[in-house]
Amino acid sequence: MTLRAKLFLSFTLVIFVCLLLAGAGFLWILQHYQFQARAARIAELSRPVAFQVAALERQGQSPATIMDLIREDADEIGIRVLILDLNGKVMADTGREFEGRQLDLNSATRSAGIVWVEAWGHTFAVVPTVSMRPFRGITSVVAVGTPNSSLRNGWLALLPSLSLAGLGALAVSAGISWLLARSIARPLAELTQAATRMAAGDFDQTVPVRGTRETIQLAQAFNQMSQEVSRSYRTLKNFLADVSHELRTPLTSVKGFAQALTEQAVTSPAEVAEVAQIILDEADRMDRLVSDLLFLSRLEANQVPFNPEPVDLTELARTCLRRFEREAAGAVRFEFAADGPAQAMVDPTRTEQVLTNLLKNAVQHTPEGGTIRVTVAAGDYQQRSGVWVRVFNSGSFIPESDRDKIFQRFYHRNHYGLGLGLAITREIVQAQGGIIQVNSDPGTGTEFAIWHPAPDRLAVDGAKPKLLARRT
């Protein structure tokens, strides 16, 4: 059974039961009210009738004649009139049927100042015909009544129209239930369709966000999920395209040179050695590409362990710089500036990797005779204390439009680079709670600046109060 059908049936059932209860209650009240109203009417009529009978009796009319006189009126207004003697024997009856029978006046009950007697399926209001002349006293008794059925069953006349109204109400509310059930079930149906399309490989799905709070949340969560899935699918596709593109160039070159060797197109030992070197270089490049890529994906998947500890970045930067200084062997000038030790909370091995990447780029982009300058200084970022390390090199420029792109994987503007260094660098810096920025000026040069938070004094020193621990 569908959700919509189930909701519809439940709504309709509840409405039906409610209508039934309300109808029954209404009929009960109606019956009670009608009974009261009719009894009151009979009670009201009983006195004038008794008075009239008494008046006719005084004129010397017999009960039978009196009956003949009032029968027509009584029938017309729907009441039954009996004239009884003082023992309760029926002397005359507008319906004639009860004449001669005995009405048990001892079973009389009193209510609202009227004496009531029930007999022969009727309810009678019994009133003595008090004579005008007191000394004659009560001569007879008049009973004005109506059949019990007409007293109690007045509501039956209403039943057909009431049922019709009930059916109408049920039909209308069933219609509304149907619409309601549909509006509740529709978001789910849409979600199911979208999920089915996603399962079929069409990941770019958005469902309308509407309905109840729960369905809104569900739709939002679904949309987020489908966005994330389609984003990672796109990333994966781009990644594969990039990798195959990046591998194709060295592979083609390796294949070409290897072919030259096998076809003995190069023969002189010097040429062979040169070709072999090229093949080796290209294989190196592919090796580096694959290992860098693997490292980057592990970084992005948070699978690279970081062991942060308080590290003096002045010391770390100076060591790195010295290594490069030795390698560069005087082609460029190296400068170092620092105020003193500057502690940051970082993994020393990873941070060394970051500085190496930045210095490698700097060396590659500095023209001969240029300058590479590393500066270390304590400084804030967004009101948090930490350490800035700046790597500046003269003579290179990155246009504004490229300053975001250089951090993307495979973005490189020179033929020897893989375009992975800065992507890895940014991942490492950010994974340690740091930031990386780039500034470039065609007149002076390019500067990469990284910032890392200072060690939390509480964590390092233990028991110091918080206020003192912040920024010293």
Ligand X SMILES: Nc1ncnc2c1ncn2[C@@H]1O[C@H](COP(=O)(O)OP(=O)(O)OP(=O)(O)O)[C@@H](O)[C@H]1O
Residue ranges in contact with ligand X by CB under 6 A: 361-362, 365, 393, 396, 398, 406, 411-414, 417-423, 446
Q: Which is nearer to ligand X, 67 or 362 (CB)?
A: 362
Closest distance of CB 399 from Mg ion, Å: 18
Q: Which is nearer to ligand X, 44 or 402 (CB)?
A: 402
Among the residue ranges 167-175, 188-196, 374-382, 418-426, the one whose residues contact Mg ion (CB under 5 A): 418-426
Closest distance of CB 358 from Mg ion, Å: 8
Closest distance of CB 413 from Mg ion, Å: 11
Q: Which is nearer to Mg ion, 4 or 426 (CB)?
A: 426
Closest distance of CB 361 from Mg ion, Å: 4
Q: Give the tokens for residue 458.
A: 């509480």
Q: Which is nearer to Mg ion, 151 or 332 (CB)?
A: 332
Q: Which is nearer to Mg ion, 146 or 361 (CB)?
A: 361
Cβ–Cβ < 8 Å for 148, 122: yes
Closest distance of CB 362 from ligand X, Å: 5
Size of the chain, expressed as the number of residues it contains: 472
Q: Which is nearer to ligand X, 201 or 399 (CB)?
A: 399
Among the residue ranges 101-109, 226-234, 319-327, 355-363, the one whose residues contact Mg ion (CB under 5 A): 355-363
To the nearest 10 degrees (0 to 180), the angle between helices 159-199 and 213-262 is 20
Cα dihedral 255, 261, 266, 269 sign: positive
Q: Give CA torsion, residues 56, 59, 65, 70, to 10 deg.
A: -20
Q: Which is nearer to ligand X, 203 or 451 (CB)?
A: 451
Q: Give the tokens for residue 147.
A: 């059949």
Closest distance of CB 432 from ligand X, Å: 18
Residue 205: DSSP 8-state: -
Per-residue CA distances from 266 to 157, 257, 279, 405 (Å): 118, 9, 14, 41
Q: Which is nearer to ligand X, 146 or 393 (CB)?
A: 393
Residue 302: DSSP 8-state: T
Cβ–Cβ < 8 Å for 447, 390: yes
Task: Report the partner that residue 418 touches, choosing among Mg ion, ligand X, none (CB closer than 5 to 8 A by kind).
Answer: ligand X
Cβ–Cβ < 8 Å for 342, 317: no
Task: Report the partner that residue 435 touches, choosing among ligand X, Mg ion, none (CB closer than 5 to 8 A by kind).
Answer: none
Task: Report the partner that residue 434 touches, choosing among ligand X, Mg ion, none (CB closer than 5 to 8 A by kind).
Answer: none
Closest distance of CB 244 from ligand X, Å: 17
- Give the ranges where 115-268 is alpha helix by DSSP (H): 148-152, 159-199, 213-262
The Cα 119–Cα 105 span in angstroms is 10
Q: Which is nearer to Mg ion, 351 or 361 (CB)?
A: 361
Closest distance of CB 316 from ligand X, Å: 20
Task: Report the partner that residue 63 touches, choosing among Mg ion, ligand X, none (CB closer than 5 to 8 A by kind).
Answer: none
421 binds Mg ion (CB under 5 A): yes
The Cα 365–Cα 380 span in angstroms is 29
Q: What are phi and psi of 298, to 5 degrees?
A: -65, -35
Looking at beta carbons, which residue is closest to ligand X? 417
CA 121 to chain CA centroid, nearest Å: 66
Closest distance of CB 280 from Mg ion, Å: 21
Count of C-beta atoms within a 10 Å radius of residue 153? 14
Cβ–Cβ < 8 Å for 372, 332: yes
Task: Report the partner that residue 394 touches, choosing among ligand X, Mg ion, none (CB closer than 5 to 8 A by kind).
Answer: none
Identity of the residue numbered 412: H
Task: Report the partner that residue 56 touches, choosing among Mg ion, ligand X, none (CB closer than 5 to 8 A by kind).
Answer: none
Task: Report the partner that residue 6 touches, choosing among ligand X, Mg ion, none (CB closer than 5 to 8 A by kind).
Answer: none
Identity of the residue numbered 376: V
Residues 6+ apart with CB under 8 A from 423: 296, 407, 408, 409, 411
Which among 432, 456, 455, 281 has a CA at the least distance from the CA of 353?
432
Q: Which is nearer to ligand X, 42 or 422 (CB)?
A: 422
Q: Which of residues 358-397 bind Mg ion (CB under 5 A)?
A: 361
Closest distance of CB 329 from ligand X, Å: 20
419 binds Mg ion (CB under 5 A): no
Task: Report the partner that residue 420 touches, choosing among Mg ion, ligand X, none (CB closer than 5 to 8 A by kind).
Answer: ligand X
Task: Report the partner that residue 446 touches, choosing among ligand X, Mg ion, none (CB closer than 5 to 8 A by kind).
Answer: ligand X
Residues 6+ apart with CB under 8 A from 122: 80, 145, 146, 147, 148
Interface residues with Mg ion (CB under 5 A) are 361, 421
